[in-house]
Structure 1
Amino acid sequence: MFCTFQGTAEPSDSGTLKESKPTRGLHACGNCKRRKIRCDGRQPCNQCESRDLQARCVYTQQIQRVVPSKRTLESLSKSLKERDAILSRLFPNHNISDLASLSVQELREAVLHGGSTDKVLPSPTDSTPQKSVTQDSQWDEDRRERDPLPAEADDVNALSLPFDRQASYLGISSIRAALAAMLQVRPQLRGLLASRQANMNNITKHDEAQPCYHPSQPLLEYPRIKWSSKGQALVDAYFQRIHIFTPMLDETSFRTNYLSSQRQDSPWLALLNMVLAMGSIVASKSGDRDHCKYYTEAMRHLDLSAFGSSRIETLQALALAGGYYLHYINRPNRGNAILGAAFRMASALGFHREPSEQDGEGDQSEAAEVRRRTWWSLVCLDTWTTTTLGRPSFGRFSPSIDIELPKLGIDGEDGFGQDMGMTTLVENIRFCRIATEIQDSLAVTPVLNPADRDRFDESLINWHTHLPSVLSNDQNCDEPVHLARCVMRWRYWNLRMLLYRPALLDATTMTQMGHQADHDAIEKCQQLSKIAIEDIAKTWLSHQMSGWNAVWFLYQAAMIPLLSMLWQPQSPAVAEWRDQVQTALRLFEEMHDWSLTARCSKGVVSQIFEASCELMCQGEQSCLEPDMNNNANETAVRGVSKDCNSIIDQGMGPFL
C-alpha cells in the first residue's frame, strides 16, 4: 500500500505567487531631479507621494539626440565655405561676423564703397519693418482714428519718441536719423527718455484729442452749402494765408460759385469743404476743432471712387487734403499716399503736358493756366512734405513732363496779389527742383562727397541770391507776402542744414575726425541751425500758418545743438548750443496757441535736453578725478553741470 503525500512548495522567484517589483522608470520625475534624490519612476513616485506632492510628479520625455551623418556634415561644410567665399569677395575689407548687425541699406552701401563700411552711417531704417506689418504697428494711422492716441504723435516726425516700435521707412534726412545718432553717442539716453516719456504719457492721457474724421454713410443727395458770413471769413483766410503758397484755384471763379450757392455737385462740395477746413485752421488757434467737421464733410465726397474722377475740383480737394490737412493733423503717411494718388490722377488727365496752341486761346487759355498752377502746386506740396523723410522723389522732374511754368495773370483777378502769388509759386518751383535732386541723392547714399555737397549748396545759395527783392529783403509788405517770404527762407536754411547734417551724424559714429572737409561741414551745419533758430525767433507771426511752419523748422534746427551737446559735452561751444536749445524751448511755449504740435515738440526737445544735462552731470566726476590738475577743464565742466542743474530745478520740462 502506497501513500502519496503532496506538499506545498515555496513559490519561486519567477512564480506568479510572488509579488513582482514595480518596473523602474528610465528617468526621474521633475521634482526628484530638482531635489537631487532617488526616484523609483512610478507615477506618482514614492518620494512625491510621501511628501504629498503628487501634483508635482511630472515626467518630461527626453528628445532623442540626432547624430548627423558624415555625408551631411561634409555637405554643410562645403555650403558654408562657398557662402564665406562669396561674402569675402563682396566685402574684402570687413569681417564676416560684423556684417550680421548691418541693415540691408548698409550692406548695399558697403558693396558700393568697395566693401568698406567705415563711412556707412547707422541706418535710420533699423526700425523699418522687414516683415509684414501688423495692425499693431506704430505707423498704422488708420488705428489712430479708433484708439485714443495723442493727435500730435506720429512716427514720421518722431513726436512720440518711438525708438523701439515699428515705423515707416525713413532715410538720412529724417528726424529719426538724428535721434538714432543721439542714442548711439549716448546709449544711456534711451533709459532716461523712456522714463520721461512714461511720465509724459501719464500726464497727457486725460487730454487726448478726438479723431477729426468720423466715417459715415455716403450721401444720396448733396445739399447746397449756402453763403454765410463765417464761411466768407474762412474763404478770405484761405486766400490770404494758403493761396499765396499754392495758387491753384481760380479765386474769382471760386468766390463767385460760393456766393451764388447754386452748385451741389460732389467735386465742388469736396473742394469747398477742404477750403473751409484749411481756412478754419489758419484763422483760429490750435485748440479750435471746427476744421474737423469741414474735413469730415469733404471726405464724404472723396471716397475711393473719387480717384477715378476727371474733375479738377476733385483733384484740387485731394491736393489740399494730402498736401496740407493730413500733415497738419499728423497723418503724414496717409497724406503722402493721397498726394501720390493725386499725381497719378493729374498725369491721367494730361496735366503734365503743355497744351497745344489751339487749346491756349480764349477761355481755354484760362483753363490751361489753372492746369499749370494745379500741377506745379502738386509738385511743390510733394517736395515740401517729403524732403525731410529720406524717401525717393519718384521723378517729379522727368523729361516726359513738359508743362511750362505758370504765367502771370488771369482775367478778373487782383493784379498785385495775382502777380505775387505767381512769383512765389515760380520761385518755389525752382527751389523744389534743387530740393528734389538733393532728396534723390541722399536717398541713394547718406553721405555725399564734398564736391556734390558743395555743388548743391552753391545752387541753393544762387537761388536765394537771385530771388526778387520783395521775397529777399526785409522790407515792409502785406502779411501774405511776409508769410511767403519767411517760410521760403526757413525752408532754405533747413535744406542747407540737412545737406550738411549727414557729416555730423557720421562723425558721431567715428572715434577720430576725418578729413578737414568733414570738420568744415559739421561747423557749417551747426552755424546754419543757429541762423535758422534766430531767424524764426525774429520773423514768425501769431497765426497758425506761420506757427505751424515755424514749429516744424524750429524742431528740425533744435536737433543739431542737442546732438552736438551729446557728442562733445566738453566743447567750448556747449554754452552756445545750450542757449540755442533754450531759445527753441521758449519759442515752442510762445507758439503753443499757433501750432498743434508746439507742445509735443517742446516735450521731445526738453526731454532730450534734460537727459543730456543729466548725463553731463553724471560724467562730471569721471571727468574731474583723472584731470584734477586741469583747472580749465574742471571749471568748464562744473559750469556746464551747474547750468544744467539750474535748468532742471526750474522745471523746464515738457509741461510747465
Structure 2
Amino acid sequence: MDDFEWDEQHVSGMEDPDIASWASKSSEDGDVEETVIDGMASLTVDEKEGGYLGVASGAALLRIIDPPPPTSRRKSTISRARTEKASIGSATIPPNFYAQPNPNRHILDSMIDAYFRLYHLSYPIVHEPTFRAQYSEVIARPNGDCWLILAYVIAAIGIYTTSTTLESNDLPLFAQAKSMLSINLLETGNLTLVQALTLVSNYQQKRNKPNSGYNYTGLAVRMAMGLGLHKEFQGWNISPLKMEIRRRVWWTLCVFDIGATITFSRPLSWPGDGIEVAFPMNVNDRELTAASQTYPPQTNEVTPYTAVRSQASFHMATNRIYARVISKPFPTAKELLHLDDTYMGEWLANIAPYFAPQVSVPPKYNFAHAVMMWRYRNLRIIIYRPFVIRKALYARNGRSDESMESHQAYERCLDEARNTIAGIRDYWAANEHTKLAAWYALYFLFQAALIPCICLRNSPISPQASEWRSQILATLSTISSLAPVNSSSPRCHQVILKLCGRFLQDDENTGERLDAGSDPEPVGGLSPINESPQTQMNNVYSMMWPNVPALEADVVMQDDAWMEFLRGEDPDLGGEFGV
C-alpha cells in the first residue's frame, strides 16, 4: 500500500510566462496532465506527491468526476516534472545574493509599502508602525536573525501579492529568508519568530508548496502556545498595544491554520478548549499606540483588523460543522441544515454591519471583504455538495432523492455555487488584477464550478441545464482572464473543458465564447456522461482513501457509512454495488 509521502524541495514556484499556449499545459495524448502539486489542493488528483487530501478538498470532488490515469503514466510525468522544476529553480536565483543579509540593500521601501497596502489588510500579523520604525532603525530590531527573516518574508510577500504579471522577483528574497532559518532557531521562542514562521507558511502555500507550509504552520502554532498567546492573564502588567499585537498574531495564525486545514480536508488541530484571548479590537492604528495606557473604544467602520476579526470568529463558529462533515457517519441533511442555520446563521447575524455580505466597503478593503464572503459560501458548498453528488448519481438511474431536507441541501449548494461564480466574476471585472486576488479567486471559483459541472454531466437535458451551462461558461471566461497573473489558470480551464466541453456545445454561442486554443470534446448528443452510477460511486473510494484499492476500502472504513449515504434508499444501485 502506498503512503502519502511528498517532496517539495524542487518546487521552485516559478510561473509559466507562456500563458497564451494553453495547449502546452496538456500531456502528449491530449489529456490534462495529472501530476500537479498545488497550494489550492484542487488539482492534485494523484495521492502521491501531494500528501493527504481528504473528503472536503477540491481534489476530492475532482477525483469523483475525473479519476487519475494509470500509475505507469503518472510515474513518467512525476520524474519529468521533478527534472524540469529542479532545472528551472536552480537558474533563477542570483548566486551572490545571499553572501550577507542586508535588508537595507536588498529590500526596497516599495516592497514594504506593497505588503501593507494589500496583504496586511486581510492578515495583520505585524503591527505596521512598529515594523516600519524597526525597518528604518528608528527603534531597535529585535531578536537578531528572526527579525531579518521576517523582513525578507514581508518583502517577498509584498512583491508576490501585488504583482500584476507572472514575474517571480519575490523568489530571491524568500530564498534569503529561508537560508537564515535553521533548526537552532527552534531552540528559541519569541513573537518575531512566530510572525515569521506564520508568514513563511502562507507564502509556501501560495507558491504551491502546501505541505511545507502546513509544517511551518504547525511550528508557529506550537511556539505561539509556548509563548502563551492563547491566554490573557488577569492583572498582567502589559501595555494595551502589546496585548493587542499578541491577539492579532494569535488570531491571524488561527485563520491560516484552519483555512489550510479545510483546504486540505485534514483533521482540525487548532485547540478548541482553553483559548482565553479576545478577538482583535476593531480600531485604527492611530487610536492605539505605544503611548496608550487604556484601550480605546472600537470604531464602527472597516479597519485593518476587521477582516481577521470576522474570519477568526467565523472559524470559531463553524469548526464543529467542518469536524462533523469529515467524520463518520456522514451527517444527514436535517443535521447539516440545523448546524448551518444555528452556527453559520448566528455568525452571519452578528457580523459587523459595515462588513456584511451586501454592503459596499472602502475600495482598499474590497479584497479582504470579498474573500470573507467567498470563504463563507465555500464552506456551505463543502457541507452540502455530497447531496448534489448523490442526486446527480440518482438522476443517471432515473431515481429520486427528494426528501424535503435533501432537496433543501441540494438547492443551498447550487445557490452558493452560482453566487460564488457570479461574485468572483464581478469582483475580477471591477478590481485590480493582483496575484493575491487571482490566487483566491481561482481557488474558490474552481471549487464552485465543479458543482454545475457534475450536474450538467449527469443531467444535460434537465430544465436547469441551461443555467449550469451559463455558469460554466462564465467560469471559463473568468479563468481565462485570471491567466496573466495565475499560472494555474490554464490547467483549471482545461480540466473544466475536459469534464464538460461536449455538454457546452448546446449553447449556440459556445464556439465564440470558448478559448480559441481549447478544443472541447466532440458533440456526442445530450446524453449523460458514459459512466455508470457504479463507476462514479466507485470513484468515491479514491476520494475518501485515495491509496486504498476499492476492494479493501470496506476494511479501512470499518463500516459502509459513506457509501450507504450515497446509495441512500436506492435498492437497484445498492444491488449493483457489491463490495
Instruction: Quickly name the TM-score band, shorter chain normalised.
Output: 0.7 to 0.9
Is 1:389 matched up with 2:389?
no
The one-letter code of the counterpart of 1:609 is C
1:329 matched to which residue of 2? Answer: 207
Find the counterpart in structure 2 of residue 549 from structure 1. Answer: 440
Candidates 365, 368, 372, aligned match of 1:484:
368
Change in 2 beyond 3 A, CA 1:235/1:443: same
Counterpart of 1:365 in structure 2 is 240
Aligned partner of 1:142 in structure 2 is 9
Instruction: Give the drift of 1:464.
Output: 2.6
Asked if 1:319 is matched to 2:198, the reply is yes
Partner of 1:38: none
Q: Distance in 2 between matches of 1:492 and 1:224?
A: 42
Contact map agreement 1:282 1:544 (CA 8 A) in 2 = yes
Please tell me the residue identity of whatever aligns with 1:391.
R
Give the Cα separation in 1 of the matches to 2:244 and 2:123.
13
Q: 1:162 to 1:269 in 2, by over 3 A?
A: same
1:573-584 alignment runs, 5 A limit: 573-584=464-475
Give 1:120-519 correspondences, 5 Å limit: 130-132=1-3, 139-144=6-11, 153-154=36-37, 157=40, 162-163=45-46, 165=48, 167-183=50-66, 210-211=88-89, 223-226=101-104, 231-260=108-137, 263=141, 265-322=144-201, 324-360=202-238, 364-398=239-273, 400-407=274-281, 408=283, 409-411=287-289, 420-445=303-328, 447-458=330-341, 459-472=343-356, 477-510=361-394, 511=397, 512-514=399-401, 515-519=403-407
How big is the shift at 1:268?
A: 0.8
Q: Distance in 2 between matches of 1:418 and 1:266?
A: 37
Q: Residue 10 of structure 1 aligns with which residue?
A: none
In the alignment, structure 1 segments of 5+ residues that lack a partner are 1-129, 184-188, 618-638
Q: CA deviation at 1:444?
A: 1.0
* Alpha-carbon distance between aligned partners in 2 of 1:206 and 1:144, rounded to the nearest angstrom: 9
Number of residue pairs matched? 485
Bigger-Rg structure (1/2):
1
Structure 2: how far apart are the matches of 1:209 and 1:418?
A: 49
Aligned equivalents of 1:207, 1:644: Cα separation in 2: 36
Change (3 A) 1:356 1:465: closer
Distance (whole Å) between structure 1 residues aligned to residue 193 and residue 264 of structure 2? 27
Aligned counterparts of 1:478 and 1:310: Cα–Cα separation in 2: 38
Indicate conservation of the 8 Å contact 2:98/2:176, yes or no.
no
Larger RCO (CA within 8 A; separation ≥ 6) = 2
Where does structure 2 lack aligned partners over 5 or more consecutive residues?
17-24, 26-32, 521-579
Aligned position for 1:640? 506
SS in 2 for 1:300: helix
The 1:482/1:159 distance shift into structure 2, 3 A limit, reads closer
**What is the CA distance between 1:157 and its match in structure 2?**
4.1
Q: For the residues of structure 2 that align with 1:316 and 1:253, how far apart are their CA atoms? A: 13
Distance 1:379 1:209, change over 3 A: farther
Q: Which amino acid aligns with 1:376?
A: W
Paired residue secondary structure (2:339): helix
Task: Tell me the TM-score normalized by structure 2.
Answer: 0.73
* Superposition deviation, residue 651 in structure 1: 4.3
Tell me if structure 1 keeps the 8 A contact 2:152–2:174: yes
- Equivalent residue for 1:652? 518
**Contact in 2 for aligned 1:346/1:375 (Cα 8 Å):** yes
Is 1:539 the counterpart of 2:465 in the alignment?
Answer: no
Instruction: Specify whether residues 564 and 208 from structure 1 end up closer, same or farther in structure 2 by C-alpha distance, changes over 3 A only.
Output: farther
CA contact (8 A) 1:238 1:279 kept: yes
For residue 337 of structure 1, what is the amino acid of its counterpart? N
Whole-Å separation in 1 of the counterparts to 2:146 and 2:462: 59
Aligned equivalents of 2:300 and 2:389: distance in 1?
43
Q: String of CA shifts for 1:599-650, please: whole Å, max 9, x gaps.
A: 332232222222xx1xx69xxxxxxxxxxxxxxxxxxxxx739777887895
Residue 419 of structure 1, CA deviation = 6.3
Matches of 1:218 and 1:259, distance apart in 2: 25
